[in-house]
Amino acid sequence: MKESRKLIYKFLLGVVAAIIIMYLCYSNIKPREAIYEIIDKNGHTIEINCAKLVKYTNEDSLYIEYPYLNAKDKNSCSINEQIYNAIIDKDMLWDDGYADRAEIEYDISYIDDRIISIHFMGNKGKGMGNNNFDRGMNFNLSNGEILCLDSFYSLREMQELLGNAIEEDKLSIKGIPLNESEIEEYINNFLKEFDSNNYISKTDNFYVKEDRIFFLAKPYQSMNQRICLELEVDELPDIKSK
């Protein structure tokens, strides 16, 4: 009898292991243990780990990765709190009678002693809904504040930058199969976002690399996902003083 129970136990462990392996092989998200380490302008050493929220129940299916700044200074704590609140909905943590669905990963697109830029991507929804999730978050490591485009550029500076980029063919659309006329139409409509300060005042619609700014913009017509436009720049300017 005991031997039979052992065999059943081993069989069940094998099944669980096989399911986990299959999920990791076929899921769009792979667990990562990547660690970044940076010294900010205040001289604090910041280690950045990959944190995860994993929850599988009869109702919920959640796999969310997000960066966690492993430091005890108040700026790092503030950044961690802002990231968590933006990515994790409170009702995900308990059973509220509605099915939660989410698969979210991230990429630290840029980091230096001034800023950290993060791009989150995946999908997120409740019940039968399943919406594309695509957002940027950028933080000032010196004070923990979240940044927007007008942290780097005035509206006039951004208008001039985009105008020059059009002339020099330095603004392009990433990852969407559009023909030339569709691209031209979309970019012309996108440029209207900069008729006012509204777009450059938002905190979730861009991320950066050393010599690139990636704008996250409205979906194209019937498409569900946000459009990503890539702008080539010489370098990212310093954060403006308030």
Which residues fall within 8 angstroms of residue 221, CB to CB, at 6 or more apart? none
Task: Please identify every stretch of the chain with a pLDDT value under 50, giving residue numbers as ranges.
Answer: 13, 15-31
Phi, psi of 67, deg, nearest 5: -75, 145
pLDDT at 8: 56
Phi first, then psi: what are they for 70, rounded to 5°? -85, 70
| Kind plus residue range of the DSSP H or E element containing 12 | helix 2-26
Side-chain half-sphere of 184: how many Cα atoms within 13 Å?
Answer: 4
Instruction: Give me the amino acid identity at 105.
Output: E
Confidence at residue 72, expressed as pLDDT on a 0 to 100 scale: 81
DSSP 90-151: GGGGS--SS-EEEEEEEEEEEE-SSEEEEEEEEEEEETT--EEEEEEEEEETTT--B--GGG
Helix (H, G, I), strand (E, B) or coil at 188: helix
Among candidate residues 35, 60, 56, the one with its CA nearest the CA of residue 46: 35
Fold assignment, 22-140: Heat Shock Protein 90 (3.30.565)
CB atoms within 10 A of CB 110: 19
- Report pLDDT for 21: 38
- Residue span(s) of the chain under CATH 3.30.565 come to 22-140
pLDDT digits (tens, 9 = 90+) for 79-123: 999 999 999 988 777 777 778 889 999 999 999 999 999 999 999
Question: HSE-up of 81 (CA within 13 Å, CB side)?
Answer: 9
C-alpha 36 chain-centroid distance: 16
Q: What is the pTM of this model?
A: 0.82
